[in-house]
Copies of this chain bind each other. A is one copy, B any other.
Amino acid sequence: LTPRRVEALVDATLKGDRRALARLISMVEDGGPDLARVMEAIRPHTGTSYTIGITGAPGAGKSTLTERLVGRARRDGAQVGVLAVDPSSPFSGGALLGDRVRMQAHATDDGVFIRSMATRGHLGGISMATPEAVRVLEASGKEIVLIETVGVGQAEVEIADACDATLVVVVPGWGDAVQTAKAGLMEIADVFVVNKADRPGAKDTVRELRQMLDLSGADAVPRVVETVAVEGEGIDELWEAIADHRAQQEATGALDSRRRRRIEREIAALVAERQRERVREEMPSLLADLVDDVWERKLDVYAAADRILEALQ
C-alpha cells in the first residue's frame, strides 16, 4: 500500500468507518511491512479500552456468553469490539467458520464490531497480533473489547495475559479440581463463570471452585458467577463482577502494572522476532553451515546459537 492509502485507511478508521477498520485488522493478520506505519499513526488514539478475555473449554458456551456481554455493554452505551481468536489454528488463514452467522443480534448495530481473527503472516502469531488488533479497535472508538478464544492451551494463557480481565468459563461437572489446576486456569482467571448453571451439579461445581480458590492463597480471590447465557440469566451479576474487578485493579494500581508488563512483553517479543528475521535474511549461509555442523554432530545447538549471537554483535 502507498503511504497515502495507509493514511486514508487510518483516517477513515478514526472516523468510525467499518470497512476501513476491517481492512486494518486484515493488515494486522497479514503482518506486512505497512503495519509499523499503521501502529505509529493510530498511537495517540490507543490505550482507551478495557479488554476482557473469555476463555474455557469448547462447548462451555463462550460465544453465547460473549454475545450477552456485548448486549450488556451496549446498555451502558459503550462501543464494543469483539475478537474471536483461534490460537490452535495457525493454518486456517482466514476467519472462523460461523463468523458471519453468529451474533446476529448485533449485526445491524453500528456500535459493535465483531471479527474472527487468524494470523496469516504475522511474526509471533496470534499472541503478537492480538494487542495490535485491540489498538486498531481502540482507534475506531471501541471502549470495551471482548476477546473470545477457542479452546484452552498455552496460547490461550498468552492471550489471557493480553487482557485486563480474564473470564474462565466452565460448566457443571466440568472436570475436577486436578483438571482445572492442570490447565493453569486457576492462575489466569479474574472471574470464574459457571455457565449452563441450570444443569444438575452447578452448585457442586461452584462450591468446588470456591474451595480451590480459597486454598490457592492468592491475594485477590476471583469471583465465581453462575450464568445461563442462552436465557440471559446472571449476565448483570457477571457484568458487576467484571466492574468490581476493574474498580479494584484501578484502586490498587494493578491495572497499570498489568498493562506495563504487557507492553514490556510485547516489545521483548518484537525484538526477538526481528532478530530471528535478521538471522534468516542476513546470515543464511552461516545458519546453513551451523545446521550442517549440528546435523553431523560436530556442534550442539547451544554452541550453534552462541556463534550466531557473536555474529549479531
Residues of B within 8 A of A304 (CB): 263, 267, 270
Which of A87, A152, A154, A312: most chain B Cβ within 10 A?
A: A154
Residue A271 is within 8 A (CB to CB) of chain B in the complex: yes
Bitwise, A91-102 to B at CB < 8 A (1) or not (0) is 110001100000
Please pick, from B35, B272, B303, the residue contacting A276 in the complex, using a CB distance under 8 A: B272
Residues of B within 8 A of A290 (CB): 267
Residue A184 is within 8 A (CB to CB) of chain B in the complex: yes
Please pick, from B88, B259, B264, the residue contacting A153 in the complex, using a CB distance under 8 A: B88
Shortest C-beta distance, A257 to chain B (Å), equals: 10
Please pick, from B97, B154, B313, the residue contacting A154 in the complex, using a CB distance under 8 A: B154
Residues of B within 8 A of A43 (CB): 297, 299-300
Residue A305 is within 8 A (CB to CB) of chain B in the complex: yes
Bitwise, A17-60 to B at CB < 8 A (1) or not (0) is 00000000000000000011001100110110000000000000
Quick check: B271 and A309 within 8 Å, CB to CB? yes
CB within 8 Å for A266 and B44 given contacts A91-B187, A183-B89, A272-B275: no
A residues 145-161 touching B (CB-CB < 8 Å): 151-157
Which of A91, A92, A256, A279: most chain B Cβ within 10 A?
A: A91
Residue A294 is within 8 A (CB to CB) of chain B in the complex: yes
Docked CA distance A91–B187 (Å): 8
CB within 8 Å for A91 and B184 given contacts A273-B272, A275-B275, A297-B44: yes
CB within 8 Å for A40 and B182 given contacts A290-B267, A291-B263: no
Quick check: A274 and B88 within 8 Å, CB to CB? no
Quick check: A90 and B302 within 8 Å, CB to CB? no
Residues of B within 8 A of A272 (CB): 272-273, 275-276
Which A residues form the contact surface with B (CB < 8 A)?
35-36, 39-40, 43-44, 46-47, 86-92, 96-97, 125-126, 131, 151-157, 178, 181-184, 187, 256, 259-260, 263-264, 266-276, 279-280, 287, 290-291, 294-295, 297, 299-305, 308-309, 312-313
Q: Which 10 A-B pairs have the closest CB atoms?
A: A153-B153, A270-B305, A272-B272, A36-B302, A88-B153, A39-B300, A91-B184, A154-B155, A43-B300, A263-B294
